[in-house]
Amino acid sequence: MDKPSAMPVDFRHPLQRTPFHERARALSQVDSFVPWSGYSTVDVFTTVEQEYFAVRNAATLYDLTPMVKYRIVGREAVPYLNRLITRDVTKLKVNRVAYCVWCNDAGHLVDDGTLFRSGESEYLLCTAERQIDWLLSSADGFEVEVAEITEQVAALALQGPTSCSVLKALGLAGIENLKPFEIGRFTFAGAPLSVSRTGFTGDLGYELWITPDSALTLWDALMTAGRSWGIRPIGSQALNMVRIEAGFILPNVDFVSAEHTIRTGRDRSPLEMGLGWLVDFDKGHFTGRRALLEEQRRGVARMLVGLDIAGNKPARDSLLYAAPTAKREIGSVTSAMWSPTCKRNIALAMVEAPHFKTGTRLWVDIYLNRELVWERRMCQALVVDRPFFAPERRRATPAADY
Amino acid sequence: MNAPPAAARYDCIVIGAGHNGLVCATRLAQAGRKVLVLEAAAQVGGAAVTREFHPGFRVSAGAHLLHLMSAELIREFKLSAHGLRYSGTQLPTTALLPGGGTLAIGAGMQGADAVAYAAYETRMRRFGAALGPVLAGVAPRLGTDRWADKLALLSLGWRIRRLGRKDMRELLRIGGMNVYDLLQEHFSSAVLQGALGLDAVLGSNFGPRSPGSVLTLLYRLAGESAARANGLAQPQGGMGALCDALAAAARAAGVTIRTDAPVARILVANDCASGVALQSGEQFAAGIVISNADPKTTFLQLLGARYLDNGFVRRVNHLRGKGLTAKLHLALAEAPRFAGVAAERIGGRLLIAPSLEHIEHAYNHAKYGEYSIEPVIEITVPTHNDQGLAPAGQHVLSAIVQYAPYALKGGWAGQRQAFSDLCVATLERYAPGIAKSILGCELLTPVDIEAKFRISGGHWHHADLALDQFLMVRPVPGATQHRTPLAGLYLCGAGCHPGGGVMGTAGGNAASQVLKQARAYG
């Protein structure tokens, strides 16, 4: 069989194939592929329900190679990153990972990502969107090198309660002692394998980083090792369900990058996204600091919150009201689903001040298409804290066997 | 870092003793502030200095004529009491023709162009006078709720409206035009067109056909309207004498001036400017730091990107400010003899810009990173009016030469001599015998100007004067009205509105902004 790289990327075949594509193609039952960052990736392998329940009850493989990866090295990598992102990078130790966001001058989100400290002055920044222009112009005046290495790394997310057991069966000694947001270094089939206890599911899980030429061997070994642990590959749809339960935000769904918005007022600040805990005003200057201080002083105009909604109909794209008969909208839902695990009708919503305080009662306008007849339901909703789902096993160290 | 001792604490520190820095410092001291001016060079003046370039021969290193500084400022600072004298005022302009002819610009011209010139000159001066107050004040910002901004914009509109319907229409019509088209409309004489067009492109990254070149001309006329009294003037002892007088006025107002004190960096505490550190390591504390340096030097070198937002740094990096103007200084054994130039006009301005096409051709080279094969030149012979600048009977020639791009293909190191020779050969064609009488020669390319006067890019105006770097967007959004993103740090140099030229307006306006801010915050 042809290697994935043998497939030309040209105007007839504009999407690249990840190093795992061959296996994904073979296991796909419904031929549901979607483009992601220039790669062809799986949306659903079998059914979304089957894949969702596998994340919450067994182990799953998700190909995150298209995640954009930047290698940041140099004597001034720390001051560079400290000016770029809003968290204090000096607190991030070697072989640790931090979730982070970065802003433009106006204090509005450019993107979010995860920052891996792989060495004393070597970092890996993983982002949803391509950011090279912002990262390079931020490097002006700093002794630092920034390079995109997306294609040099094959990445797999192994997530679910049995994921630690799978890695033990794979032979990664001591993996159960890896702490959340820690990176472990292993050798797999003669190749260096990095494993971080990170993920986008809010569950026990790991992300595995290896060179592309070892990708298929790793996939096969994981599928073999995980057979008795219920392992199965999942696509983006199932991942989107579990990330809502975990309360994680997605660019272009829950916010639009300030570098991409066209209309005024559509940018979002980390304070508005409920990510104020990521902003460290005491660490010194960073891009957007002065604007964020000013926003904090004034008070935020809106906030992304969790909603617990009456009934079981997902409130997709719904508008929010302060009263069932109110004319003026006070916000809208960005992500919504019926959560099978929580048995709750949940949503992430952007809500205007002062309606975003936890415990506030709002009304959600839900439209239902019942065999092509539209019905409207005005449902009550309660502003609740995120995440909706946070099992103890996600943090427990050593990770338990299931 | 230990707090500096009390002796090293000031209210305001001005980085750079250029004319704007000195004006700013004086105004602040007059308002009761304790002010320190730190100058990297051994003498005050920045690029407005008189330097010895050959043993016994001195010359104004940068601008060699004073025509933009407001008469009001000169009076108010009592500069004549502080030693400012003129060796010449109302200096005439003479255009030189290849082959020996000349054209004396102004009264005395003959023919249809003379009539057209009178009308053109009157109208352009009117426009200049109408725009003068706008250039003299702090540039208003758009989209703010501040009354000062709204009033300034209203006043600009009112001044233009008050020109009358006909002239208002004409001003709005020509405002965005190029000077080539404008002069074609008015005159038939190529040499007159060239001479008048040169004023629009001198010191800028423009050829006569560049869009916006009428704007730079109007800018010059607006500046001149405030300084009308003396016309083109030559300070006795060169431009340095003006800055010496400004420094004397500053000291009289209580300003402390330290020369040979290059600033290494601006100090920051609690996200506010807190002082400066010299290259020697010495530190001075002040709640307000005002930089006379250009925006790139101020933000990227003295302050550093780490104290600024990325988008702002990106704008500063994209600020266009690469000089295209060189300065040629000749020490001459005898008075130069320009063919056909009457003796009384030798002390004025002599122009080698025989046509607009000639200037445009000269500019074409610069666009592609080459120096002009046939440069355009503004010549003065300062010793004609001021023999003190050279040994008795000997002379100095000071010439502004265009175009000599900062980023010359192949670099200036290996081509400086060739360009210098080319300039001398050009002069020889208009003043036969001049080459033989040269005792010493100095060419300051933009690269030399950058190194000698610490101007990033070696640009007269610190940043190109063009519509997108003008008024409310000069030098860049986020650093207008002399303020910067860092509290307590201000700009007072040519990079601010209204730009370069020995004017002093930016310095005075910066001081007023500092004082206004202090009032606002108590």
Do B266 and B225 lie in a common domain? no
Number of domains in chain B: 2
Same domain, B21 and B75: yes
Average pLDDT over residues B511-517: 94
Q: What is the mean pLDDT of residues A356-362?
A: 97
| B401-417: burial string, b at 16+ Cβ within 10 Å, e else | bbbbbbebeeebeebbe
Inter-chain CB proximity A287 and B304 less than 8 Å: no
Report CB contact under 8 Å: B309, A142. Answer: no
| Average pLDDT of the segment spanning A78-101 | 97
Asked whether the beta carbons of residue B305 and residue A140 sit closer than 8 angstroms, the reply is yes
State yes or no: pLDDT of B443 exceeds 80: yes
B305 touches chain A (CB under 8 A): yes
The answer as to whether B278 is a domain residue is yes
- pLDDT of residue B521 exceeding 60, the answer is no
pLDDT value at B311 more than 90: yes
Beta-carbon separation of A104 and B310 below 8 A: yes
Minimal Cα distance from B300: which residue of A? A141
B265 at A interface, C-beta within 8 A: no
Of all residues in chain A, the percent with pLDDT exceeding 90 is 95
Average pLDDT, chain A: 95
Of B205, B230, B255, the residue that ends a domain is B230
Residue pLDDT, tens place only, B229-267: 788 999 999 999 999 999 999 999 999 999 999 999 999
**B477 touching chain A per CB within 8 A:** no
Report the pLDDT averaged over residues A241-269. Answer: 95
Half-sphere exposure of B477 (CA within 13 A, CB side): 8
- pLDDT given for residue B418 in this prediction: 97
B302 and B264 in one domain?
yes
Which residues have C-beta within 8 Å of that of residue B221, sequence separation ≥ 6? B124, B125, B127, B128, B131
| Residue A241 pLDDT | 97
Average pLDDT in the B74-91 region?
95
The answer to whether residue B53 is domain-embedded is no
Of B300, B311, B485, Cβ closest to residue A141:
B300
Chain A contact present for B269, CB below 8 A: no
Per-residue pLDDT, averaged over B76-97, amounts to 95
Residue of chain A with shortest Cα separation from B485: A290
Calculate mean pLDDT across residues A306-323: 97
CATH code of the domain in which B21 resides: 3.50.50.60
The per-residue pLDDT for B491 is 98
**Alpha helices for B435-486 (secondary structure H):** 446-453
Residues of the domain holding B501:
6-48+67-85+236-319+475-521
Name the minimum distance, in Å, from the CA of A139 to any CA of chain B: 9
Residues of chain B above pLDDT 70, percent: 98
Are B159 and B222 contained in the same domain?
Answer: yes
A&B contacts, CB < 8 Å:
45
User: Measured between alpha carbons, how far is residue B189 from residues A241, B109, B115, B356, B513 in Å?
Assistant: 79, 11, 12, 10, 46
Average confidence (pLDDT) over B15-39: 98
Give the gap in angstroms from C-alpha B486 to the nearest C-alpha of chain A. 9
For residues B207 and B203, give the distance between their C-alpha atoms in angstroms, rounded to a whole number.
Answer: 11
Whether B202 and B162 share a structural domain: yes
Q: Within 13 Å of residue A383, how many CA atoms lie on the same side as its CB?
A: 24
Contact yes or no for B306 and A79 at CB 8 A: yes
Asked if residue B199 belongs to a domain, the reply is yes
Residue that terminates a domain, selected from B230, B255, B290? B230
Give domain status of residue B466, yes or no: no
Quote the minimal CA–CA distance from A305 to chain B in Å.
29
The fraction of chain B above a pLDDT of 90, given in percent, is: 80
Q: Considering chain B, what is the average pLDDT of its residues? A: 93
Of A104, A137, A141, the CB nearest to B304: A141
Q: Residue A3: which pLDDT band, with cuts at 50, 70 and 90?
A: very low
Of B271, B300, B312, the CB nearest to A105: B312
Query: What is d(CA A248, CA A250) in angstroms, rounded to the nearest whole number?
Result: 7
Nearest chain B alpha carbon to A286: B309
**Within-domain flag for B171:** yes
pLDDT of residue A402: 81
Q: Is B373 a member of any domain?
A: no
- Chain B nearest C-alpha distance from A86 (Å): 12
Distance to chain B for A103, nearest Cα, Å: 9
Q: What is the pLDDT of residues A111-163, one digit of tens each?
A: 999 999 999 999 999 998 899 999 999 999 999 999 999 999 999 999 999 99
User: Taking residues A224-232, what's their average pLDDT?
Assistant: 97
> Are both B214 and B121 inside the same structural domain?
yes
pLDDT-derived band at A59 (thresholds 50, 70, 90) equals very high
Distances (CA, A) of B225 to B155, B202, B464, B503: 17, 18, 22, 12
Inter-chain CB proximity B311 and A290 less than 8 Å: no
Residues of B in contact with A138 (CB under 8 A): 310
Looking at the fold, whether B165 and B267 belong to one and the same domain comes out as no
If asked whether residues B137 and B200 sit together in one domain, one would say yes
* Of B466 and B279, the one with more pLDDT: B279
Band the pLDDT of B4: cuts 50, 70, 90: low
B270 touches chain A (CB under 8 A): no
Which residues of chain B make contact with A285, given a CB cutoff of 8 A?
271, 306-308
User: Do the chains contact at A105 and B478, CB–CB below 8 Å?
Assistant: yes
Tell me how close the Cα of B518 comes to any Cα of chain A, in angstroms.
Answer: 20
> Which residues of chain A have a Cβ shorter than 8 Å from any chain B Cβ?
79, 83-84, 104-105, 134, 137-138, 140-142, 284-285, 287-290
Query: Are residues B136 and B44 part of one domain?
Result: no
Band of residue B520 on the pLDDT scale cut at 50, 70, 90: low
The alpha carbon dihedral of B482, B43, B202, B23 has a sign of: positive
User: What was the pLDDT predicted at B500?
Assistant: 86
* Residues shown for chain B: 522
Identify which of B72, B81, B60 has the alpha carbon closest to the alpha carbon of residue B504. Answer: B72
Chain B window 482-501: which residues touch A at a Cβ cutoff of 8 Å?
485
| Residue-level pLDDT at B152 | 85
Q: Evaluate if residue B1 carries a pLDDT over 70.
A: no
**From A141, A288, A290, residue closest to B306, measured CB to CB:** A141
Q: Say if residue B121 is in the same domain as residue B221.
A: yes
Average pLDDT (B82-86) is 96
pLDDT at B522: 45
Answer yes or no: do B204 and B150 share one domain: yes
The answer to whether the Cβ–Cβ distance between B311 and A105 falls below 8 Å is yes
Average pLDDT over residues B345-353: 95
Mean pLDDT computed over A50-61 = 98
Percent share of chain A, pLDDT over 70:
98
Contact partners, residue B137, CB within 8 Å, separation at least 6:
B152, B509
B93 DSSP β-pair partners: B349
Q: Are residues B216 and B271 in the same domain?
A: no
- Can you read off the two tokens belonging to residue A309? 């909604």
Domains and CATH numbers, chain A: 4-65+153-234 (3.30.1360.120), 301-384 (2.40.30.110)
> Which among A141, A284, A289 has CB closest to B305?
A141
Q: Is the pLDDT of residue A15 over 90?
A: yes
ipTM of this predicted structure: 0.92
Tell me the HSE value of B469 on the side-chain side, using a 13 A CA sphere: 22
CB nearest to B314's CB, from A137, A288, A290:
A137
Q: Identify all chain B residues contacting A269, using CB atoms and an 8 Å cutoff.
A: none
pLDDT band at B3 (very low <50, low <70, confident <90, very high): low
Q: Do A381 and A315 contact (CB within 8 A), yes or no?
A: yes
Model confidence band, residue B6 (pLDDT cutoffs 50, 70, 90): low
What is the model's pLDDT at position A2?
41
pLDDT value for A7: 62
Backbone angles phi, psi at A155, to 5 degrees: -130, 135
DSSP alpha helices (H): ranges in A90-211? 132-138, 163-170
Final residue in a domain of this structure, among B196, B230, B264: B230
Q: Could B311 and A104 be called an inter-chain contact, meaning their C-beta atoms sit closer than 8 Å?
A: yes
Residue B58 lies in a domain: no
Distance from CA of A295 to the nearest CA of B (A): 16
Least confident of A325-334, B182-191, B335-344, B373-382: B335-344
Best residue of A84, A140, A293 to probe chain B, by most B CBs closer than 10 Å:
A140
Cα A62 off chain centre by: 12
Question: Which of B304, B306, B310 has its CB closest to that of A137?
Answer: B310
Asked if residue B19 has pLDDT above 60, the reply is yes
Token couple for B46: 């920045």
Name residues whose C-beta falls within 8 Å of residue B436's C-beta, 6 or more positions apart in sequence: none
Question: Is it the case that residue B227 has pLDDT exceeding 80?
Answer: no
Whether residue A373 is predicted with pLDDT greater than 80 in this model: the reply is yes
Chain B residues with CB-CB distance to A281 below 8 A: none
